[in-house]
Amino acid sequence: MHYEGERTYGCRVSSAWTYRGLRTVVLENELLRVIVLADKGADVYSFVHKSSDTEFLWRTPWGVRDPSKFVPTTGGAENTWLDVYEGGWQTVVPHGGYPSTVAGAELGLHGEVSTLPWDVTAVEDTPDRVSATFKVRGYRTPFAVEKTLSLESGSAVLTVNETVTNEAEEDADAVWLQHIAIGPPFLSDRCRLDVPDCMVLTGGATAESSKLVPDHRGPWPNVPALDGSTLDFTRFPSRDDRSLDMAYMTEMPEGWYAVTNEETGVGFGVAYPADVFKFLWYWRNLGGGWGYPWYGRSYNVGLEPCTSLSNGGLAGAIENGTALHFGPGESVSVTIKAVAYTGAGPVARIDPEGVVTRG
């Protein structure tokens, strides 16, 4: 039985929905509608600014799939995750990046809680505020994750309180990644990216279509390209760029970023604790992902706060000293704010409460 409120005003929450066979939770207020796939990683599948009818999060060409309704033809450590990746926003713990083996456990791409069903409870349900709490435990690793999503009346800010706990009786390491992908029609070459002053890092070539000079380190926002030009990271190329790259921002005095569509005057921003998420991963899938799974069909960016460097998985982060270390029974908690805002100018700051200051 479901005894949640069925209001048509103010804040609302319901865990009584299903979408393509998956338990789905809807939180909304006067300004935002947020949809969470509880049965698939508690992924934030949709983040809509109501008055402008703007969806900020990207959808993959194949969209939502219920993993229980089909049998993959192979069990590859990358393919298994990508086959059910719908886009949106995943909580990735304890393994962000490509497959590796740690403590005897084989860990696939972005494993392991982002493909599991999570328990969900609506913990607040009033016209002024709603909250839903999601919980999960790993199966190959000893980590438990709890996150609570909240909306308040009249506010265009989603609050995410997230806690990761090492339930082992021994030390354990993790990569903790907020895998947030932004896409069209919101994303276009009319968008600008604002972040605090920081350093930009590039890794090795991601694909044949990579454009960034590998192993670069330099100040935001200018990054050298392989053709000898300089790319301004405050701007987003169009799909015609046909590139695929990874970059990383670090040494931020505060953790936040803002993507503003200067044509529509609508923006999306995220504020997060930079002392925990020391790196902002920047996945530039700008029409240049050829072959499986993109086949040239995808135009999106990932702007992903992460504890660690780089995309090589937990084993690589342990080796380079950026993995987040947990003692037995230790927990780490964070608060993240995702905000929709209006206006076309540069953003100077998003504070820890999600308040946007224009430049």
* Per-residue 3-state assignment (H helix, E strand, C coil) for the chain: CCCCCCCCCCCEEEEEEEECCEEEEEEECCCEEEEEECCCCCEEEEEEECCCCEECECECCCCCCCHHHCCCCCCCCCHHHHHCCCECEEEECECCECCEEECCEEECCCCEHHHCCCEEEEEEECCCEEEEEEEEECCCCCEEEEEEEEEECCCCEEEEEEEEEECCCCCEEECCEEEEEECCCCCCCCEEEECCCCEEEECCCCCCCCCECCCCEEECCEEEECCCCEEECCECCCHHHCEEEEEEEECCCCEEEEEEECCCCEEEEEEECCCCCCEEEEEEEEECCCCCCCCCCCEEEEEEEECCCCCECHHHHHHHCCCEEECCCCEEEEEEEEEEEECCCCEEEECCCCCEEEC
> With pLDDT > 90 as the criterion, what percentage of the chain qualifies?
92
Asked whether residue 1 carries a pLDDT value surpassing 90, the answer given is no
Length of the chain: 359
Return mean pLDDT, the chain.
96
Higher pLDDT, 1 or 291: 291
Q: Which of 310, 259, 270 is nearest to 89 (CA)?
A: 270
Measured between alpha carbons, how far is 272 from 194 in angstroms, rounded to an integer? 14
pLDDT at position 68: 86
Higher pLDDT, 1 or 78: 78
Bridge partner residues of 231 (DSSP): 223
Asked whether residue 147 carries a pLDDT value surpassing 90, the answer given is yes
Tokens of 22: 């998956």
> With pLDDT > 70 as the criterion, what percentage of the chain qualifies?
99
pLDDT digits (tens, 9 = 90+) for 310-353: 888 999 999 999 999 999 999 999 999 999 999 989 999 999 99
Asked whether residue 257 carries a pLDDT value surpassing 70, the answer given is yes
Residues 6+ apart with CB under 8 A from 123: 131, 132, 133, 148
| CB-neighbour burial class of residue 144 (10 A; exposed 0-12, middle 13-18, buried 19+) | middle
pLDDT at position 322: 97
Asked whether residue 253 carries a pLDDT value surpassing 70, the answer given is yes
Asked whether residue 151 carries a pLDDT value surpassing 90, the answer given is yes
Measured between alpha carbons, how far is 340 from 36 in angstroms, rounded to an integer? 17
- The span from the first CA to the last CA of the chain, in angstroms, equals 50
pLDDT digits (tens, 9 = 90+) for 41-89: 999 999 999 999 999 999 999 999 998 888 888 888 899 999 999 999 9
How far is CA 66 from its chain centroid? 20
pLDDT at position 204: 75
Sketch out the chain's domains with CATH numbers.
12-351 (2.70.98.10)
CB of 218 closer than 8 Å to CB of 200: yes
Residue 58, CA distances (Å) to 111, 138, 215 in order: 20, 26, 28
Residue 192, CA distances (Å) to 257, 259, 345 in order: 11, 6, 9
Residue 237 half-sphere exposure, CB side, CA atoms within 13 Å?
17
Q: pLDDT band for 2, please (50, 70, 90 cuts).
A: low
Measured between alpha carbons, how far is 326 from 344 in angstroms, rounded to an integer? 42
Q: Which of 323, 192, 216 is nearest to 268 (CA)?
A: 192
- The type of residue at 38 is A
Residue keyed to tokens 């998003």:
350
pLDDT digits (tens, 9 = 90+) for 159-190: 999 999 999 999 999 999 999 999 999 999 99
Measured between alpha carbons, how far is 354 from 255 in angstroms, rounded to an integer? 11
Residue 44, CA distances (Å) to 76, 178, 193 in order: 25, 11, 22
Q: pLDDT band for 3, please (50, 70, 90 cuts).
A: low
pLDDT digits (tens, 9 = 90+) for 88-110: 999 999 999 999 999 999 999 99
pLDDT at position 122: 94
pLDDT at position 71: 85
Q: Which of 268, 304, 76, 93 is nearest to 180 (CA)?
A: 304
Q: Are strands 356-358 and 299-306 parallel, antiparallel or unpaired?
A: unpaired
